[in-house]
Structure 1
Amino acid sequence: MTLQRLLSLTRKAVDTFNLIESGDKIAVGISGGKDSLTLLYALNGLKRFYPNSFTIEAITVDLGHPGFDLIQIKALCRELNVPYTIVQTEIAQIIFNERKEPNPCSLCAKMRKGALNDAAKKAGCNKIAYAHHKDDVIETMLLSLLFEGRFHTFSPKTHLDRTDLTVIRPLLFVNEADVIGFKNKYHLPVEKSPCPVDGYTKRQYVKELIRTLNHEHPGVKERMFTAILNGNLDGWETFLKK
């Protein structure tokens, strides 16, 4: 995927769901993975021509895993002229060594989001951009359907009352395969997650299930996404009004 195509799909989501307003300062959550680095490129490119003027700041919450190296990401942010903040934490130590959580993902996500929210507020941001793409939307829906018994997924825009921050997801129309193509084309400095349970989650199971279904019945993934767009889910109603 080219940068031009990425910017086109990002603007489509931003316009469809009114994700960015003039004067916004947006914290871009950088995990080190391909998705968040693609989001950084997308918003940094979009702000150069989008009619609603906005600024961005990259923020990484370092969970404290040994061997997590952010040198190349620092260099990328300098190259893009994007301010970059690294929040040092002991989340990994707490979860894996002190609490020895048997199912660590939920608590880790909660603590990581809390640290990101605090850093965003401290930086003067009013919005946080997450790098969830189309595949994430579909996987979350199927996880909810299979394990919770409800038709649900996260919304394009969510206001957090406690922090008065708004979470936006500008990559909703971007396929994961296109993110991989963008990463390879532009040689993004991806830093692999050192988490010991990475790749062994229910989400990974659902990702592989969708891949199998789409291989056996081509178009299944897109039909699932269409069902979400037309499902009158909370936060997705804007699409229906277009």
Structure 2
Amino acid sequence: MKLQQLLSYTRKAVDEYQMIEEGDHIAVGISGGKDSLTLLYALHGLKRFYPKKFELSAITVDLGYEEFHLEPIEKLCAQLEVPYKIVRTDIAHILFEERKESNPCSLCAKMRKGALNDAVKDMGCNKVAYAHHKDDIIETMLLSLIFEGRFHSFSPKTYLDRMDLTVIRPMMFVDEMDVIGFKNKYDLPVVKSKCPVDGHTKRQYAKELVRQLNQEHPGAKERMFTAILNGKINGWPERTLQKR
């Protein structure tokens, strides 16, 4: 995927769900993975020509794993002239040494988001962008159906009233395979996750299930995504379809 296509998908999401307003200061949550680095490129590119002017910063919550080197991301942010902040935490120590969690994902996500949101507010940002793509949204819907008994998924835009902060997901129309292609084409400086349960989670199960369903029933993934967009899910904002 070329940058122009990435920007087209990103603008589609931003326009149809009114994700960006004039004067916004948006923080990109950078995990070090391909998704968040692609999002950084997307919003950096969009900032150059989007009619509503906004500021951009980047934040990484360092969970405290050893050998997690962020120098390549610091260098990239410097090249893009995007302010970058690293938040050091002891989340890994708490999860795996103090609490010895066997299923740490939920608590880890809660602690990580708490640290991220606090840092976002400290930087003076009013919005934070998460790098969830189309596959993430579909997988979340399946997990919700299977394990919670409800039809639900991430919202494109969510206002957190306690924090006075808005979460946006500008890559919601981007396929994961396109993210992989973008990473390879532009040689993104991915910093591999050091989490010991990475690749062994319910989300990985959902990812493999979507892949299997789409192989056995070509087009199933797109139909599931369409069902989500048209599903009137509680908490989702109104969608404004653009004339093309």
- Which of the five TM-score ranges fits, normalised by the shorter chain? over 0.9
Amino acid at match of 2:198: D
Deviates more, 1:3-12 or 1:229-238: 229-238
Instruction: Tell me the secondary structure at the aligned position of residue 238 of structure 2.
Output: helix
Describe the shift of the 1:142–1:190 C-alpha distance in structure 2 as closer, same or farther (beyond 3 A): same
Equivalence for 1:167: 167
Equivalence for 1:30: 30
Equivalence for 1:84: 84
Q: Is the 8 A contact 2:158 2:168 kept in 1?
A: yes
Instruction: Tell me the secondary structure at the aligned position of residue 178 of structure 2.
Output: helix
Equivalence for 1:207: 207
Deviation of 1:239 (Å): 2.3
Instruction: Tell me the secondary structure at the aligned position of residue 47 of structure 1.
Output: helix
Equivalence for 2:239: 239
Amino acid at match of 1:65: Y
Instruction: Tell me the secondary structure at the aligned position of residue 76 of structure 2.
Output: helix
Tell whether 2:181 aligns with 1:181. yes
Superposed CA deviations along residues 51-86 of structure 1, whole A, max 9, x for unmatched, are: 000011000000001110101011100111100000
Q: Quote the Cα distance in structure 1 between the aligned partners of 2:13 and 2:23.
A: 19
Q: Is the 8 A contact 2:16 2:241 kept in 1?
A: no
Gaps of 5+ in 2: none
Tell whether 2:61 aligns with 1:61. yes
Tell whether 2:228 aligns with 1:228. yes
Instruction: Tell me the secondary structure at the aligned position of residue 61 of structure 2.
Output: strand
Identity value in percent: 74
Equivalence for 2:127: 127
After the TM superposition, list the runs of 4 or more consecutive aligned residues in structure 1 that deviate by more than 3 angstroms: none
TM-score normalised according to structure 1 size = 0.98
Describe the shift of the 1:18–1:123 C-alpha distance in structure 2 as closer, same or farther (beyond 3 A): same
Equivalence for 2:191: 191
Q: Is the 8 A contact 1:230 1:240 kept in 2?
A: no
Q: Is the 8 A contact 1:95 1:101 kept in 2?
A: yes
Q: Quote the Cα distance in structure 2 between the aligned partners of 1:133 and 1:158.
A: 16
Equivalence for 2:153: 153
Q: Quote the Cα distance in structure 2 between the aligned partners of 1:222 and 1:235.
A: 22
Amino acid at match of 1:110: K
Amino acid at match of 2:223: R
Q: Is the 8 A contact 2:64 2:93 kept in 1?
A: yes
Q: Quote the Cα distance in structure 1 between the aligned partners of 2:45 and 2:75.
A: 17
Deviation of 1:102 (Å): 1.5
Amino acid at match of 2:190: V
Deviation of 1:154 (Å): 1.1
Instruction: Tell me the secondary structure at the aligned position of residue 212 of structure 2.
Output: helix
Q: Quote the Cα distance in structure 1 between the aligned partners of 2:86 and 2:237.
A: 35
Equivalence for 2:9: 9
Deviation of 1:238 (Å): 1.9
Q: Quote the Cα distance in structure 2 between the aligned partners of 1:145 and 1:227.
A: 13
Q: Quote the Cα distance in structure 1 between the aligned partners of 2:43 and 2:13.
A: 12
Q: Quote the Cα distance in structure 2 between the aligned partners of 1:173 and 1:210.
A: 16
Amino acid at match of 1:39: L
TM-score normalised according to structure 2 size = 0.97
Equivalence for 1:102: 102
Q: Quote the Cα distance in structure 1 between the aligned partners of 2:126 and 2:174.
A: 24
Amino acid at match of 2:72: Q
Q: Quote the Cα distance in structure 1 between the aligned partners of 2:92 and 2:193.
A: 12
Q: Is the 8 A contact 1:156 1:168 kept in 2?
A: yes
Gaps of 5+ in 1: none
Describe the shift of the 1:140–1:177 C-alpha distance in structure 2 as closer, same or farther (beyond 3 A): same
Q: Is the 8 A contact 1:25 1:126 kept in 2?
A: yes
CA RMSD of aligned residues (A): 1.0
